[in-house]
Structure 1
Amino acid sequence: MPKTESEQNIEVFARRREGLRIRSALLGAAAMAAMATFGGNIAGPALAQTPLTAAPAQMVPSFADVVDRVKPAVVSVRAKAGNAQTSDNQSGGSNFNLPDLNLPDDHPFQEFFKRFRGQGSPNEGNSRPGPSPRRGASQGSGFFVSADGYLVTNNHVIDKSSDIEVLMDDGRTLPAKVVGTDPKTDLALLKVEEGGPFKYVELAPEAPRVGDWVIAVGNPFGLGGTVTAGIVSARARDIGAGPYDDFLQIDAPVNRGNSGGPAFNQRGQVVGVNTAIASPSGGNVGIAFAIPSETVQNIVNQLREKGVVERGFLGVQIQSVNKDIASSVGLEKPEGAIVSRLEDDSPAAKAGVKTGDVVLSVNGKPVDDARDLSRTVASLSAGSTANLQVWRDGKRQDVSVTIGKMSDRTASASSQQDGTMEMDKLGLRLAPGAAAGGDVKGVAVVGVEPGSTAAEKGFKTGDVIAEVGGQAVQTPADVRKALEDSRKTGRKNVLFRVEAEAGARFIAVPVPAA
């Protein structure tokens, strides 16, 4: 009896299925043979010996062990100011203004934004204290450097404060007093008398390398102990914050409230104190600056022993050596700092230093530029003897100098040891025109603070200010005097004539308040 079409289709399907089964068996046998030939692994040892679900070897480091050790030594610092509400422009406080998004009361983000504003729950009649500081208070971070309660933070966190308290990692709130401050490096040493002994951390004995991991622990936006990580992006950064700038640049996320907090290496040693951020918005953009541990150690030791910081003094005005100066004095490359002026009866003058000498090293340590020399001399003790190697008359000579003590008078002059002057309210750092190289007439812009009035108006490092308010200027002091004259006449703005490679231009600048 002939088969129906349906029965024929079933037989075809069965034959095809049997063929597939046979081919699969043959392929499986071939695979087994290949595995035997290659030692039981046709795709490499890892695939055969490691289950597919097993995690690969850990490539990204974990900082958990370091954080467990160091976090108890890091605190939040709250400083009650005199009268007015404090705004922290450098990153110490948590006065972070969030926009009004008109969210519904029951929106899940409402509580998040309320906490940032320091307000209570939208359903509460009275506001409750949040992590933001009280009105008239600033807030930052700090860390213990001894078991008996010595604590490091930034000067700008506690400056002009009447009461200071620290919030411990374990939740305790303890009063603290100021032992001493150093505004020039923006460091402060506090002491907590009760509640000890305290967990503390040590300062790193050596500087990190560019590319080394760093771990920042602090109090961003008043949220309490927060940990972020990154690397050292650069060293010896000069951001115009003070006469002894020597910052580490790190890319670990640092925000307002991290000021005074530590940056650790992977051994749990403090490599820097987080101090400032470069940001147009006030939030983290991956550029933060930390005071290196070497500077911190020197300042902390002096504040602990004396309550004040004493700095060495040479009594010279200096400027960095550029290519033109190096060529004119016979140096093979730009290095060191050239003495442009000697103060009468100064330590340098008594030792025989001459105008035109180029200081190449101090006690065997090479001098890179004028600011490097200023920092090096300032770190020396008054009364100590320093050996200066100078370039004079086409050859190297040694000069032995007894370092003087920087008094209040010389401290004022020290901010111009390299010929520079800080115009803090404008965000400019100025130097005589020679600092720009060649025979330049005017005043050179050698630094512009990010986010400052000067930056907003378009000033750039390398610009030369030729006139201020119609008056020709040759020194930073001339610029300051022209601004003071404009202020006395009641002007609200003053016109700067600025020269640059692209040509001359005028910039109208608000006259800063006295």
Structure 2
Amino acid sequence: MENRPSRSPLRSRRAKLLAGAVVLGTAGLMTLQTVVPAQLAQATPVRVDAAAPVDFSDVVGAVSPAVVSVRVKQAAEPRMMNFEGRNNFRDFFEDLPNGHPFEKFFRDFGGRGGDDARPNKRSPRSYGMSQGSGFFITGDGYVVTNQHVIEKGTEFTVIDHEGEEYDAVLIGADKRTDLALLKIEGGKDFTYVDFADEAPDVGEWTVAIGNPFGLGGSVTAGIVSARGRDIGAGPYDDFIQIDAPVNRGNSGGPAFNMNGEVIGVNAAIFSPSGGNVGIAFAIPASTAQDVIMELKDGGTVVRGWLGVQIQNVTDDIAESLGLGETRGAIVAEAQDNSPAQKAGLRSGDTILAVEGTKVEGPRDLSKIIAAFSPDTKVDLTIWRDGKEQDIAVTLGRLQDQQQAAAVSEAVEEETTSLDDMGLVLTTKAEAGLDGNGVVIAEIDPDGPAAEKRLREGDVILEVAGMKVNSPEDVLKAVKKAEEDGRKAVLFRVETNDTTRFVALPMKLA
């Protein structure tokens, strides 16, 4: 977002809010004392003085005018009925016997011909309707909400806290972070809110305002339960978990701190029933601010692209690679014609840092790379052949790609067993397949391979960094790893069209 010549209207109220919080906190002061074990009785007890707010009315009163409801009109696909070979819906009812309950219904409402038949009218085009929440981030009408709220929308209506409705246009949306930006054309000078500059601490109070179940203007409060949550929603998961009650319709609404700043955009709940159970997830302000700024500037989010399949480095994988600590993202495969492949990255390389920033795991790597613009040259620190190396990569542009996977079934013929690992292997030729690698013909359901989720039909491409094309190659590679004193041996395995690394433990002496 561009720099604004004047500060948010809420800024002028924050000093008063903070002063009020001090007064309220004094009235509701809570003193907590830990229970000290007998052996530590001589130590000074730990005391925590916490100011507990009596109410949230000042904060809510300040920010509520900036929170809106978002109504989305969606073109509904016509529902087709298949009556197995009949020409149309009318033909189905034409053949009904006299006196059938549907026969009278169709005569009265569908028209069967004759004097008492009603004219057959064309059904009006139907539409779907969804609702969510949002909030103003500028005085001229930019509104933040979730991408899943506006998805497939054809018309967008923003309803402010006073019930006034405004037509809005979609500026842009980003599916990967589930954020979208709407704009009201013209209109009055709207009250807006700012994103928080700092992430909230776990245990801080938070207030959620939104449109649950279409009620509009509903306020709930709770605390920040956790940060950095990965819920499997996408490659950039970094959610704030809050326990402020959030329900359907709250999506896209803001979660505020006690200064009236937006700490997150409510996006998801965890619930067996679909209602609030005290676990909700918000997109952090730091993520939202960057994405919204790009949407506002160009309508799309442009991210850097490396082009690798990556996975976590487990303790077993780290040991098998001779890596001193369990961190980084191991490359299962570099995609064809990708920046990674062109730079020389290969399977088995473990990415430890990007431009000096440590990579703790795949999620870190995805976020770090995405923050760079396409065509940016970055230096990667990788672990290869038992030592660190640096490699320069010029990033490409991330685009949505679809992958098609074909399932191959292994045919058991001549086989070789690795009993200690719970594997029975055969060649690709024996399995009726082409290409390189060794096919897993059987899995011991109680063996180490099954525990690592290997399955029949998987193809072993490499063992301990050595390419394998026969069960004998696998045996040799395992034996060499054992001679080198490894406690685990690293397999690169292909399942359908996806490759990954699996570390299988060696037989203990």
| Shorter-chain TM-score tier | 0.5 to 0.7
Work out which of the residue numbers 120, 136, 145 in structure 2 matches 1:144.
136
Question: For residue 199 of structure 2, what is the aligned residue in structure 1?
Answer: 207
Matches within 5 A, 1:239-250: 239-250=231-242
Say if 2:435 is the partner of 1:464. Answer: no
Matches within 5 A, 1:22-61: 59-61=51-53
Work out which of the residue numbers 39, 63, 83 in structure 2 matches 1:70.
63
RMSD (Å), alpha carbons: 3.0
* Inter-partner Cα distance in structure 2 for 1:296 and 1:83: 30
Displacement of 1:289 in angstroms is 0.8
Say if 2:378 is the partner of 1:386. Answer: yes
Distance verdict in 2 for CA 1:266–1:282, change over 3 Å:
same
Please state whether the residue corresponding to 1:136 is helix, strand or coil: strand
Rg larger in structure: 1
Work out which of the residue numbers 143, 163, 174 in structure 2 matches 1:182.
174
* Inter-partner Cα distance in structure 2 for 1:396 and 1:63: 53
Say if 2:218 is the partner of 1:230. Answer: no
Matches within 5 A, 1:16-415: 59-61=51-53, 62-83=55-76, 136-408=128-400, 411-412=401-402
Q: Which moved more, 1:60-69 or 1:245-254?
A: 60-69
Displacement of 1:375 in angstroms is 2.3
Please state whether the residue corresponding to 1:398 is helix, strand or coil: strand
- Contact 2:76–2:127 (Cα < 8 Å) also in 1: no
Q: Note the alpha carbon deviations across 1:47-78, whole angstroms, 9 max, x for none.
A: xxxxxxx9765842133222222111110001
TM-score (normalised: structure 1): 0.59
Q: What amino acid sits opposite 1:269 in the alignment? A: E
Displacement of 1:398 in angstroms is 2.8
Distance verdict in 2 for CA 1:478–1:366, change over 3 Å:
closer
Please state whether the residue corresponding to 1:201 is helix, strand or coil: coil
Q: How many residues align?
A: 332
Larger helix proportion of the pair:
1
- Contact 2:136–2:193 (Cα < 8 Å) also in 1: yes
Q: What amino acid sits opposite 1:143 in the alignment? A: F
- Contact 2:207–2:256 (Cα < 8 Å) also in 1: yes
Distance verdict in 2 for CA 1:368–1:141, change over 3 Å:
same
Unpaired runs of 5+ residues, structure 2, are 1-25, 31-50, 79-125, 406-420, 425-450, 460-492, 499-509
* Inter-partner Cα distance in structure 2 for 1:255 and 1:135: 24
Q: What amino acid sits opposite 2:208 in the alignment? A: A
Displacement of 1:362 in angstroms is 1.8
Displacement of 1:478 in angstroms is 6.5
Displacement of 1:233 in angstroms is 1.4
Q: Note the alpha carbon deviations across 1:236-293, whole angstroms, 9 max, x for none.
A: 2222222322211111110111000011122222111111111111110010111111
Displacement of 1:476 in angstroms is 5.8
Q: What amino acid sits opposite 2:390 in the alignment? A: D
Matches within 5 A, 1:466-485: 466=455, 477=496
- Contact 2:242–2:282 (Cα < 8 Å) also in 1: yes
Q: What amino acid sits opposite 2:63 in the alignment? A: V
* Inter-partner Cα distance in structure 2 for 1:175 and 1:475: 51
- Contact 2:220–2:244 (Cα < 8 Å) also in 1: yes
* Inter-partner Cα distance in structure 1 for 2:423 and 2:253: 43
- Contact 2:458–2:495 (Cα < 8 Å) also in 1: no
Displacement of 1:395 in angstroms is 2.9
Displacement of 1:139 in angstroms is 0.7
Distance verdict in 2 for CA 1:344–1:464, change over 3 Å:
closer
Displacement of 1:324 in angstroms is 0.8
* Inter-partner Cα distance in structure 2 for 1:278 and 1:249: 10
Q: What amino acid sits opposite 1:379 in the alignment? A: A
- Contact 1:358–1:391 (Cα < 8 Å) also in 2: yes
- Contact 1:342–1:349 (Cα < 8 Å) also in 2: yes
TM-score (normalised: structure 2): 0.60
* Inter-partner Cα distance in structure 2 for 1:164 and 1:365: 41
Question: For residue 30 of structure 1, what is the aligned residue in structure 2?
Answer: none
